[in-house]
Chains A and B, each alone.
Chain A
Amino acid sequence: MKSDQLTFIVDLNDVRDDGCLVIAMDFTQTYGPCRTIIPSNPPQPGDRVDLYSDADDVALVGTVQAQLSALEYTVRPDLDTYYCVSLSVTTPGWRATTWGSHSQLPALFTTDRFTLPSKFELLNV
């Protein structure tokens, strides 16, 4: 199962010794940072979730390992799903070359602003 409605902002420098990252409900692309959300389909262990690092311009998919609290989970990033997001500040969109499970080339990610896209949606073009 894959949670398509949430894209978690992660810091890839925060990877733990076990290779996992902590994701939190208050850092999602769709709903904005520091704003707690309770989605109708919160991630469950085993779910695939979208991860995004705006410091790296990369997005990838991870698998939820465990729930730490009501709003925090550990997730193991799947390096085979790395895909790069190239940002153009002059156009309202992102061009991404994708690999792995997201290998529908090319793909367009739409966004409203530089650091905090209000919409992170994969469109076939």
Chain B
Amino acid sequence: MGGTAVIPDEAWVLRGGKRVAAIVDGAAQPVWSVVRNLIAVEGEYRQSGLCVTAGIADSPEALAIHAATLSPELMVTTVGELRAIHLDVVPEPGKPSPAALLLIPDEPTADTWSTLDSVLGLRPRVKNPKIADTKQVEK
């Protein structure tokens, strides 16, 4: 269950979608879906973060069955890879594992978004089994 336990570096992290940022006027900015999530998390928990799914599993696909998102595809990384770029992942307060928050600095820069988007794009995305069962999404 959710709590204060530290999520280990080897835990998989899944974030629904294909991107968290886009280049606008030459600089990386969060896409508006992400802005919405930041506002929602700030309002709920009084901290800056994004909703993710994070936990130990044999594979990202195995963890994906627990992802509480309607996104057709899920971006994949690990907690360790995020910590390597100075971003942490913590259990989402009051929610059962593997619900988690990817903590974002209070004043993220274009570099923050660019780096995060790159890390989330390093690994192949996995299909969301909730959506794959009902619809095959064309790329």
Contacts and interface: CB of A to CB of B under 8 A. Distances in A.
Interface of A: 9-15, 17, 21-22, 24, 27, 33, 53-58, 77, 79-80, 82, 84, 86, 97, 99, 113-116
B37 A14 contact: yes
B93 to A, nearest CB: 15
Given A33-B32, A55-B33, A13 B51 contact: yes
B34 A55 contact: yes
Given A11-B34, A22-B40, 7 more contacts: A12-B69, A12-B70, A14-B36, A27-B32, A54-B22, A56-B72, A82-B137
B65 interface: no
A12 B73 CA distance: 11
Interface stretch (B3-11, B13-21, B56-64, B83-91): B13-21
B106 interface: no
A27 B40 CA distance: 13
B70 A79 contact: yes
B48 interface: no
A97 B138 contact: yes
A44 B102 CA distance: 34
Interface of B: 15-20, 22-24, 29, 31-37, 40, 50-52, 68-73, 131, 134-135, 137-139
Contacts of B69: 12-13, 15
Given A33-B32, A54-B32, A54-B33, A82 B135 contact: yes
B32 A56 contact: no
A79 B18 contact: no
